[in-house]
């Protein structure tokens, strides 16, 4: 056992350094995402969801770096990744709509100009919606119409349609009355 550690001391030290760097970067990014979420008025659950997405990406990058630390040849890595991405690509083609909604949810987290409680109008020729934003989730946005109906609108469609802000923080105004 001692001989194993002596023979692989450089890789072990590099792996520990990679782990420490990974934890530091992840912590900084998650704290930054939570601060952005607080400033933009989004829920803590959404900030946590975005933090998990970023963590998955960082883990994949760390695994790739760890492969090189352990001495895996670039040709072997490219063969594995091309095979995995081919299989994933075929599988994800079937669920592209879900990925589109998740990606839109991430975009909306960082740059959506409306918050929970705002009353908006979505200019959709097939189904125009005028409602109060009740919740913004990873796949869809929940809207409450004036008649009490709950409308779930996919995130990817929301980014493709024109949206008008009718009243800011309509929920706060309704609670005053």
Q: Domain boundaries in the chain? A: 2-94, 113-176
pLDDT, tens digit, 9 for 90 and up, residues 88-144: 777 666 667 777 878 888 888 777 788 888 899 999 888 889 999 998 887 888 999
Domain covering 2-94 in this structure, CATH number: 1.10.287
d(CA 25, CA 57): 12
Please, which residues bridge with residue 121 across strands? 130, 164
- The Cβ of residue 165 has, within 10 Å, a number of other Cβ atoms equal to 12
Q: What digits encode the pLDDT tens for the residues 62-85?
A: 988 888 888 888 787 778 778 877
Closest CA to 116 of 95, 101, 137: 137
Regarding pTM above 0.75, the answer is no
Q: Is 121 helix (H, G, I), strand (E, B) or coil?
A: strand
Contact in structure between 108 and 102 (CB atoms under 8 Å): no
State the fold for domain 113-176: SH3 type barrels. (2.30.30)
**CA–CA gap between residue 138 and residue 152 (Å, rounded):** 12
C-alpha 40/C-alpha 113 separation (Å) is: 8
């Amino acid at each position: 056992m001692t001989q194993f550690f002596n023979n692989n001391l450089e890789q072990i030290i590099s792996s520990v350094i990679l782990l420490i760097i990974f934890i530091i970067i992840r912590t900084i990014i998650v704290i930054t995402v939570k601060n952005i979420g607080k400033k933009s008025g989004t829920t803590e659950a959404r900030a946590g969801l975005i933090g998990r997405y970023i963590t998955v990406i960082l883990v994949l990058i760390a695994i790739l770096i760890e492969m090189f630390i352990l001495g895996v040849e670039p040709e072997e890595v490219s063969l594995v990744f091309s095979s995995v991405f081919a299989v994933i690509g075929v599988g994800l083609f079937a669920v592209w709509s879900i990925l589109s909604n998740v990606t839109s949810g991430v975009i909306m987290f960082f740059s959506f100009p409306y918050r929970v409680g705002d009353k908006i109008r979505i200019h959709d020729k097939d189904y125009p919606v005028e409602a109060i934003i009740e919740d913004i989730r990873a796949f869809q946005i929940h809207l409450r119409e004036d008649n009490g109906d709950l409308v779930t609108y996919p995130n990817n469609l929301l980014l493709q349609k024109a949206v008008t802000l009718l009243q800011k923080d309509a929920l706060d105004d309704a609670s005053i009355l």
